[in-house]
Amino acid sequence: MYKSLTMKTHSKHLKLYTFIITLIFACTYYTFNIYASTTGSGGDMWAVANTVIVDLYNKIAGISTVLAGLMSAIAVLGAKLSNNQHKVDQSWDWLRRIWVAWAVINGIGAFIAYIRPLFAGLNTIG
């Protein structure tokens, strides 16, 4: 009886030890290095963030423009090929919505990327 009790305790300790070693290995294996960027506008964190925002805005503006053009073509085709006035009106309404959404998305992005940095130092007193 004494032998089986120590075997159970030994087995529990071995499982716990294995779990801890596996956890330590996983934590060290799945960590990765993060390096500060020194490229861009002098290496300042805010300058690099601004560069990232402008690049992201340019990508979003390009994708949204392509999608707006594609959806506009579909809306115009729907209006021209439809034989029902109600469907034609719906197509022109969708065309209006597409371009308003495009203007809002690109306007907000342009404000964040280009206009906001112009007001960067104006929030200080004195």
Average pLDDT, the chain: 80
Residues 54 and 91 placed together within one structural domain of the fold: yes
Q: What is the pTM of this model?
A: 0.55
Given a cut of 60, is residue 90 above it in pLDDT? Answer: yes
Q: How many domains is the chain partitioned into structurally?
A: 2
Residues 21 and 46 placed together within one structural domain of the fold: no
Per residue in 31-65, pLDDT tens?
776 665 555 555 677 777 778 888 888 888 889 89
**Domain range for 68:** 40-126
Burial 86-109 (b: 16+ CB within 10 A, else e): eeeeebeebbeebeeebeebbeeb
The per-residue DSSP string of 84-126 comes to -HHHHHHHHHHHHHHHHHHHHHHHHHHIIIIIGGGGTTTT---
Given a cut of 80, is residue 101 above it in pLDDT? Answer: yes
Phi and psi torsions of 39, nearest 5°: -85, 170
Per residue in 5-22, pLDDT tens?
566 667 788 888 888 888
pLDDT band at 85 (very low <50, low <70, confident <90, very high): very high
CB 75 within 8 Å of CB 94: yes
Residues 3 and 44 placed together within one structural domain of the fold: no
